[in-house]
Chains A and B, each alone.
Chain A
Amino acid sequence: MQWYWLPEFMPRFIEGLWVTVQLLGLSIFFGMLLAIPLGLVQVTGPRPLSWLARGFCTVIRGTPLLIQLWLIYYGLGSLFPSVPWIRESALWPVLREAFPYAVLAFSISVAGYEGEIMRGAFRGVPKGELEAARALGMSPFKVLHRVWLPRALQNVFPTLTGEFILTLKAVPLASTITIFDVYGVGAIVRQETYRIYEPLLFVGLIYLLLTLALVLVFRYFENKIPKRA
């Protein structure tokens, strides 16, 4: 075991860590934003919408994330440059990077998995609570905002924590589309120093700590949920 490369590459690992955290945060944010309506329409939505949402979840959950990522990056990435108005738009410098494609792919994946979980969560809220809210004169939107959604999220909080850890562990896949997250930096070390195991073990250690941190953060929020004694 030789660790002489560690001080030299430390700044890049810290940059990589930031990329990993950003990717994770953005994917969870946009993913959940999509997952909530996906779960909701499967419970109350009109038939066609509910079928569409269910189909979306099945397709996303039934195909490997790596294939989704490559489809979006190589597929869209090869399509966009051939469309003139996209090339001339102000967004083009952003779309030339790999990062937005990774966020898009991960968000869609999170939406698919968590949409399924939110379906169960919305269904699991006792009917009486919703009826009580409506009886108090809340509008349907207010019922969702004040009662249905908070109660649903509370019930599946531990499940969601587990799911987000899975998302964290999917982030290294982004390194296959030229993004330098923690794992990507580890791969650079491997190429430049010809050490195979040490960088991988180091990346593993960072992930262990990240998982721990994520668990602690979510446990903090979980403890804020009022429990019936």
Chain B
Amino acid sequence: MENALELLAFSPPGWGGALLRGLVTTIQIALGAYFLGLFLGLCGALGKLYGGPILRGVLEFYTTLFRAVPELVLILLLYYAGSDLLNIALESMGFERYDMSALTAGIYVIGFVQGAYSTEVLRAAIGAVPSGQMEAARAIGMSSFQAHRRVLIPAMLPFALPGLGNLWLITTKDTALLAVVGLSELLLVTRQAAGSTKAFFTLYLAAGALYLMLTLISLAVFALIERRYRRGQPVQG
């Protein structure tokens, strides 16, 4: 026990500080990727509902492909191919090469994967809003944009929130996969610490506890958000 505490001390030679810095990186990536995914998901869901056949086909391809291929494969593909393609595009247009930081690349990669899942969650939630609500909004003279902002999105949130909560938990855990491409988030830091101290159990358990804490706090926060957005809904018996 004494040994474990020494190992997890905040200042070197303890690894506690390094683990916490890893946790901060993990949270940064997860937040960035989640909101990027939400934005893509909202665009995707609206595109699937209102778009023409070509746009719908492209979106269908995106969501099917990204949900069928393992995250690890996608992460490797996007991590290497994404920055490569960006540079080819930039150079062909006569711009300088741009070296994306690992953190940004990680956010984009996980964000694109999450976008596919968010699209489906949001599309289903929008479908669950009775069409009369949107018709009523248009009938009292709201513009299409106003009707979406004021009626559709608040009305679909209660349906979407459980799915979106799950997606957030999946995002936080997916960031661990970035350890495989060498991004020093929590898991990779843990692996380095475990490799150099040989204290596999202590360090992995500590990292696991940090992830678990993140999950439990997130669950509590989502319960609060859900309660707030369910205010307008009839009470379910």
Within residues 186 to 229 of chain A, which ones have a CB less than 8 A from any CB in chain B?
Answer: 186, 196-197, 200-201, 203-204, 207-208, 211-212
Check if B173 is an interface residue, CB within 8 A of chain A.
Answer: yes
Residue among A58, A197, A200 with max Cβ neighbours from chain B (10 Å): A200
Check if B69 is an interface residue, CB within 8 A of chain A.
Answer: yes
Whether A78 contacts B200 by the Cβ 8 Å rule is: yes
State the Cβ distance, A202 to closest chain B Cβ, in Å.
Answer: 10
Whether A63 contacts B76 by the Cβ 8 Å rule is: no
Whether B201 contacts A183 by the Cβ 8 Å rule is: no
Check if B98 is an interface residue, CB within 8 A of chain A.
Answer: no
Check if A62 is an interface residue, CB within 8 A of chain B.
Answer: yes
Check if A170 is an interface residue, CB within 8 A of chain B.
Answer: yes
Check if A54 is an interface residue, CB within 8 A of chain B.
Answer: no
Q: Is the interface of B mostly helix, strand, loop or mixed?
A: helix
Check if A79 is an interface residue, CB within 8 A of chain B.
Answer: yes
Check if A145 is an interface residue, CB within 8 A of chain B.
Answer: no
Given A70-B204, A71-B200, A196-B80, does the pair A63, B212 have CB atoms closer than 8 Å?
A: yes
Check if A169 is an interface residue, CB within 8 A of chain B.
Answer: yes
Given the complex, which residues of B lie within 8 Å of A201, measured CB to CB? 77
Check if A10 is an interface residue, CB within 8 A of chain B.
Answer: no
Check if B81 is an interface residue, CB within 8 A of chain A.
Answer: yes
Whether B204 contacts A74 by the Cβ 8 Å rule is: yes
Whether B201 contacts A200 by the Cβ 8 Å rule is: no
B83-96 toward A: CB 8 Å interface, digit per residue (1/0)?
00000000000000
Whether B187 contacts A67 by the Cβ 8 Å rule is: yes
Check if A156 is an interface residue, CB within 8 A of chain B.
Answer: no
State the Cβ distance, B26 to closest chain A Cβ, in Å.
Answer: 10
Within residues 185 to 237 of chain B, which ones have a CB less than 8 A from any CB in chain A?
Answer: 187, 190-191, 194, 198, 200-201, 204-205, 207-208, 211-212, 215-216
Which single member of A70, A176, A207 contacts B68 (CB below 8 Å)? A207
- CB nearest neighbor in A for B76: A200
Check if B53 is an interface residue, CB within 8 A of chain A.
Answer: no
Residue among B73, B191, B200 with max Cβ neighbours from chain A (10 Å): B73
- CB nearest neighbor in A for B71: A169
Q: In the bound complex, what is the Cα–Cα distance between A212 and B212 (angstroms)?
A: 33
- CB nearest neighbor in B for A186: B73
Q: In the bound complex, what is the Cα–Cα distance between A136 and B65 (angstroms)?
A: 50
State the Cβ distance, A2 to closest chain B Cβ, in Å.
Answer: 15
Whether A204 contacts B69 by the Cβ 8 Å rule is: yes
Whether A172 contacts B70 by the Cβ 8 Å rule is: yes
Given A196-B80, A208-B65, does the pair A67, B71 have CB atoms closer than 8 Å?
A: no
Check if B129 is an interface residue, CB within 8 A of chain A.
Answer: no
Whether A197 contacts B81 by the Cβ 8 Å rule is: yes
Check if B72 is an interface residue, CB within 8 A of chain A.
Answer: yes
Given A71-B205, A201-B77, A207-B69, does the pair A65, B198 have CB atoms closer than 8 Å?
A: no
B168-191 toward A: CB 8 Å interface, digit per residue (1/0)?
010001101101100000010011
A161-172 toward B: CB 8 Å interface, digit per residue (1/0)?
000010011111
State the Cβ distance, B200 to closest chain A Cβ, in Å.
Answer: 4
- CB nearest neighbor in B for A73: B200
Check if A75 is an interface residue, CB within 8 A of chain B.
Answer: yes
Check if A132 is an interface residue, CB within 8 A of chain B.
Answer: no
Whether B72 contacts A62 by the Cβ 8 Å rule is: no
Whether A67 contacts B72 by the Cβ 8 Å rule is: no
State the Cβ distance, A180 to closest chain B Cβ, in Å.
Answer: 14
Whether A74 contacts B68 by the Cβ 8 Å rule is: no
Q: In the bound complex, what is the Cα–Cα distance between A74 and B205 (angstroms)?
A: 12
Whether A171 contacts B201 by the Cβ 8 Å rule is: no
Check if A64 is an interface residue, CB within 8 A of chain B.
Answer: yes
State the Cβ distance, A215 to closest chain B Cβ, in Å.
Answer: 9
Residues of B that sit less than 8 Å from A by CB = 65, 68-74, 76-77, 80-81, 169, 173-174, 176-177, 179-180, 187, 190-191, 194, 198, 200-201, 204-205, 207-208, 211-212, 215-216
Known contacts A63-B215, A78-B198; 14 additional CB pairs below 8 A are A58-B216, A62-B211, A62-B216, A63-B173, A64-B173, A71-B205, A75-B200, A171-B70, A172-B73, A200-B76, A204-B73, A204-B74, A207-B73, A208-B68
- 15 A-B contact pairs sorted by A residue (CB < 8 Å): A58-B212, A59-B212, A62-B216, A64-B187, A65-B173, A66-B180, A71-B204, A79-B201, A165-B68, A169-B69, A169-B71, A170-B70, A176-B180, A186-B73, A197-B80
